A and B are shown apart, each in its own frame.
Chain A
Amino acid sequence: MKILGISAHYHDSAAALVVDGVPVAAVQEERLSRRKNDATFPISAIEWCLDRAGVDPSDLDAVVFYERSMLKFDRILTCALRAFPHSWRSFPNAIKNSLGEKVWVRGIITSHLGVPRRKIFFTDHHASHAAAALFSAPTRRAAILTADGVGEWATLTVGRGERRPDGAAEMTLQREIRFPHSLGMLYSTFTAYLGFAINEDEYKVMGLAAYGRPTMIEQVRTLIRSTPDGAFVLAPEYFEFQTTASRSYSSKFVDLFGPPRNPYDDIDLDSPEGRRFADCAASVQRVLEDVLVDIARQLRRETSLPDLCFGGGVALNGLANARILAESGFERVFVPPAPGDAGCALGAALYADRIYFGNPDRDVPDHPFWGPSVDAQELARASREDSHPVEELDDVPLMEAVADELAAGRIVGWMEGACEFGPRALGHRSILAAPHSREIRDRINRDIKRREEFRPFAPVVPAEAADRFFDLPPGGHRLGRFMSGVFPVRPEWRGRLAGVTHVDGSARVQVLERDMAPRLHALLEAYGRRTGIPVLLNTSFNVAGEPIVTRALEGYSTFRRCGIDLLVAGPTVVMKRGASPDRSLKEGVAWSSEGVARSGAV
């Protein structure tokens, strides 16, 4: 069966194609449209997936949308009614938004793809998250936990799933916590309060938390209370996300925590104000972790299963994931490479395949590389046209040459094979650098990523060397596979891994198995032979405000305008020619005001 999964209309839309039970292509729309967090209907992603598999829309057996859009509309309308008359400002926009496009999903799919309506299916939002986590994990039976801002009504669900040896699959979500009581919304509210963009900058709150002390836990606990059955409720008087789209927190929230941060002010961690914001971040982070650990512990007791599959946007919180692994009693925690809404495209397709159609369960390859491949020839051609030094090398000399450059303190743009599905660069679209000093971290922050100083960079390490440098608990290797856990750097290595060690001594490490990305693994080994430390700084190949690069020419244009010294795509290596090339173009291209005048005065 050929099943297309689609997620769209909120943030980070995506498409995924499953053929005979196995994914063959998956990509976020932003990677093709080049608009970060592109939420539009993912027509480019769909076209690419179908092209990749050589499938015509008429060949599709089913198209599955990742949530029930009318149920979501029901929630929006109900919340507007409940908040009457305070919702009067947000009501027109909410209705225009929903009726403009979001509730007509079936028609949109039909008109774009020409598939008959009988082939269009829907899943629950959290079922899509759960399926993405369960059916892509190398486990037979597992408990399931999903948590995000909100789906239709659910914000957090728990359940269990089984993939039997005879191919039968079962997934049951047993209970849920419903909007407006939401861990994701609680965290997003603090994201907004701290002057960051919601649904995008939550990881900044996590980075900032390490600089603070959780001195405001009591205040945060005022916002979120445990219920006798082990769930939680938010105190609505502190929030406004359920009544207006313009602000997440209420005046009462501000009375409790003090004035919010002006988004245009830098965070000065030496000032009392900066420390207050860091303490806020640390406090909400701690409470989020505590609540998740409690829920996971309860789930472990109920299911007695050793494995947990964790999905939803909250599963991007590596600190919380590490604490769940350490404290909940689960032996292994599986977080998919795309736990957020983009991953729901794949989850919806897998759910339909296993549950709706009852097709036999098949193992999903355990890697995140489902996107478009890089064309090294394209890079070589463009670089030669622009007179940049280009070399095409076999693997062994290439690894040695790149390792030499990294050891000499150069920053490398690394593109390899198919791009990752999900928000993390896991070795196919990465910026790599030596991890040893804070100077190189500051250089990448300043010249390439242009981001806040308090944000850490992640290391990548071969699996066989991981325990030497990082204090990984049992199950830590698995969580580190897709960079889903934050773990301590061993104290004796913190000085020599200063570029990737966060202020609290931790790192969001990627533990790389050779099978997953053999060339990056070989590069790590080559680098280790030179320095004695087979660890590299690994950050996503993009600059602030842009999606991770997909094609070779996108990597090339990024390379040309920022401080990357060396660009590698497959066997092609490009060195930067001098500083800031082509500034002479402005002088070189003749111009005259006469020429402009000829085109007609404005």
Chain B
Amino acid sequence: MPSVTKGAPLDRIMRPVHRWVWGDVDRRLRKLLTFADVETDGGRDILRAAEVTPDPLLRRLYLEHAIDELRHGELFRERGAALVRARRTWRKVLFAGNPLPGGHGLDDLSIEGQPDYRLLAFLHVAEKAAAGRFTIYRELVDDDPETRAIFEQILRDEVFHMNYTYTQLTRVSPQGYRRHVWHARAKRLWNRYLRIAAAMAGLFGGVALTAMYFVLLPPFVWFARRAERREPTGWTSISRNGNQSPRSQY
């Protein structure tokens, strides 16, 4: 594997965290299933790019890229599913969610109306980061040959993706390709900040709302339950026909 896929400095620093994640089977399978969704979503975005680009060569390359990503999604899903099947406590494992909005959250790609150079730069930076991180993951799953084989296979594709995106970027924007790559990096950083900020806001909001739930709601619970007890079962006559304002949201 080319040396460019040795992993970003930040990922190398975070290696103990990655080891903690991949060292546990439940966390590992959750990660694999998350990757499955992310790769599939990414594949669909790139597929969209293939459908809207006016450039025939890019259309073919995007299509190949999308097919790869969708296949990666399948590989991750099948491996995750195999691990789920081997676990007795699959319900607990599957229902524990990830607090960070991702996938179709703030990392959403905007394809329509975007010039190809912007997408190519974004894809190049994203593929390179993914390849670096997958290199580290591959080393951390030495005890799991099937999962390791998936990372090996995907890494081979990622090298192609990194290269064609860069080559095509220099073709479609020979003057500004470096600037586009730096811009894509800055955007990626900004999106990462937004993700963390949104997750933090969500966390604080959740804590505040939970506190409100236990402090403010109880007095109204009695009324709500009394109203429920008084509700007739079965059919309820609809009396509001004709006298409800068409402009009312109530």
C-alpha gap A85/B4 in the complex (Å): 53
Q: Which residues of B contact A118 (CB under 8 A)?
A: 247
Q: Is A122 touching B249 in the complex (CB atoms < 8 A)? A: yes
Kindly state whether residue A233 has any CB partner on chain B within 8 Å.
yes
Kindly state whether residue A396 has any CB partner on chain B within 8 Å.
no
Q: Is A262 touching B250 in the complex (CB atoms < 8 A)? A: no
Convert A63-93 into 0s and 1s, putting 1 for each residue whose CB lies closer than 8 angstroms to a CB of B. Answer: 0000011110010001011101101100111
Kindly state whether residue B218 has any CB partner on chain A within 8 Å.
yes
Q: Is A68 touching B51 in the complex (CB atoms < 8 A)? A: no
Q: Assuming A96-B205, A546-B44, A561-B67, is B234 touching A227 (CB within 8 A)?
A: yes
Q: Is B214 touching A96 in the complex (CB atoms < 8 A)? A: no
Report the minimal beta-carbon distance from A192 to chain B, rounded to whole angstroms: 11
Convert A562-601 into 0s and 1s, putting 1 for each residue whose CB lies closer than 8 angstroms to a CB of B. Answer: 0000000000000000000011011001111101111111
Kindly state whether residue A513 has any CB partner on chain B within 8 Å.
no
Q: Assuming A71-B250, A247-B95, A589-B164, is B205 touching A91 (CB within 8 A)?
A: no
Q: Which residues of A contact B202 (CB under 8 A)?
A: 96
Q: Which residues of B contact A74 (CB under 8 A)?
A: 250
Task: Report which of B91, B131, B224, B234 forms a contact with A81, defined as CB distance below 8 A.
Answer: B224
Report the minimal beta-carbon distance from A130 to chain B, rounded to whole angstroms: 11
Kindly state whether residue B128 has any CB partner on chain A within 8 Å.
yes
Q: Which residues of B contact A122 (CB under 8 A)?
A: 246-249
Kindly state whether residue A52 has any CB partner on chain B within 8 Å.
no
Q: Is B2 touching A596 in the complex (CB atoms < 8 A)? A: yes
Q: Is A264 touching B84 in the complex (CB atoms < 8 A)? A: yes
Task: Report which of A81, A175, A560, A597 forms a contact with B238, defined as CB distance below 8 A.
Answer: A175
C-alpha gap A328/B208 in the complex (Å): 52
Kindly state whether residue A269 has any CB partner on chain B within 8 Å.
no
Q: Top 4 closest A-B pairs, CB basis? A: A591-B163, A227-B234, A81-B224, A264-B81
Q: Is B181 touching A70 in the complex (CB atoms < 8 A)? A: no
Report the minimal beta-carbon distance from B249 to chain A, rounded to whole angstroms: 4
Kindly state whether residue A551 has any CB partner on chain B within 8 Å.
yes
Q: Assuming A84-B218, A596-B4, is B104 touching A586 (CB within 8 A)?
A: no
Report the minimal beta-carbon distance from B89 to chain A, rounded to whole angstroms: 11
Q: Is B224 touching A78 in the complex (CB atoms < 8 A)? A: yes
Show 7 A/B contacts (Cβ-Cβ < 8 Å), sorted by A: A80-B217, A81-B221, A91-B213, A122-B249, A159-B238, A263-B94, A386-B56
C-alpha gap A228/B234 in the complex (Å): 8
Q: Is B209 touching A92 in the complex (CB atoms < 8 A)? A: yes
Stretch at the interface among B15-23, B58-66, B145-153, B189-197: B58-66
B interface, over-half SS: helix
Report the minimal beta-carbon distance from B160 to chain A, rounded to whole angstroms: 5
Kindly state whether residue A270 has any CB partner on chain B within 8 Å.
no
Q: Assuming A81-B217, A92-B210, A589-B61, is B234 touching A121 (CB within 8 A)?
A: no
Report the minimal beta-carbon distance from A82 to chain B, rounded to whole angstroms: 5
Q: Is B63 touching A233 in the complex (CB atoms < 8 A)? A: no
Q: Which residues of A contact B141 (CB under 8 A)?
A: none
Kindly state whether residue A473 has any CB partner on chain B within 8 Å.
no
Convert A370-401 into 0s and 1s, putting 1 for each residue whose CB lies closer than 8 angstroms to a CB of B. Answer: 00000000000010011000000000000000
In chain B, positions 218-233 with a C-beta closer than 8 Å to chain A are 218, 220-221, 223-225, 227-228, 231, 233
Kindly state whether residue B236 has any CB partner on chain A within 8 Å.
yes
Kindly state whether residue A95 has any CB partner on chain B within 8 Å.
yes
Count contacts on B: residues with CB < 8 A to the other chain: 74
In chain B, positions 121-153 with a C-beta closer than 8 Å to chain A are 124, 128-129, 131-132
Q: Which residues of A contact B234 (CB under 8 A)?
A: 177, 227-233
C-alpha gap A236/B139 in the complex (Å): 50
Task: Report which of A69, A92, A175, A546 forms a contact with B249, defined as CB distance below 8 A.
Answer: A69
Task: Report which of B64, B90, B220, B250 forms a contact with A586, defined as CB distance below 8 A.
Answer: B64
Q: Which residues of A contact B85 (CB under 8 A)?
A: 262, 264-265
Kindly state whether residue B243 has any CB partner on chain A within 8 Å.
no
Q: Is A176 touching B84 in the complex (CB atoms < 8 A)? A: no
C-alpha gap A162/B201 in the complex (Å): 52
Convert A211-249 into 0s and 1s, putting 1 for each residue whose CB lies closer than 8 angstroms to a CB of B. Answer: 000000000000000011111110000000000001100
Task: Report which of A260, A553, A602 forms a contact with B128, defined as CB distance below 8 A.
Answer: A602
C-alpha gap A597/B163 in the complex (Å): 10
Q: Which residues of A contact B63 (CB under 8 A)?
A: 557, 560-561, 582
Q: Is A92 touching B164 in the complex (CB atoms < 8 A)? A: no
Residue of B nearest to A174 (CB): B238
Q: Is B235 touching A262 in the complex (CB atoms < 8 A)? A: no
Q: Is B213 touching A92 in the complex (CB atoms < 8 A)? A: yes
Residue of A nearest to B77 (CB): A264
Kindly state whether residue B80 has any CB partner on chain A within 8 Å.
yes
Kindly state whether residue B34 has any CB partner on chain A within 8 Å.
no
Task: Report which of B162, B178, B237 forms a contact with A596, defined as CB distance below 8 A.
Answer: B162
In chain B, positions 13-60 with a C-beta closer than 8 Å to chain A are 40, 44, 47-48, 50-52, 56, 59-60
Kindly state whether residue B166 has any CB partner on chain A within 8 Å.
yes
Kindly state whether residue A172 has any CB partner on chain B within 8 Å.
yes
Residue of B nearest to A121 (CB): B246
Q: Which residues of B contact A227 (CB under 8 A)?
A: 233-235
Q: Is B84 touching A582 in the complex (CB atoms < 8 A)? A: no
Residue of A nearest to B249 (CB): A70
Kindly state whether residue A356 has any CB partner on chain B within 8 Å.
yes
C-alpha gap A105/B84 in the complex (Å): 41
C-alpha gap A167/B90 in the complex (Å): 59
Q: Which residues of A contact B181 (CB under 8 A)?
A: 599-600
Q: A91-B209, A599-B128 are in contact. List 7 more A-B contacts (CB 8 A).
A: A81-B221, A81-B224, A95-B209, A175-B237, A178-B236, A229-B234, A385-B56
Kindly state whether residue A106 has any CB partner on chain B within 8 Å.
yes
C-alpha gap A106/B124 in the complex (Å): 41
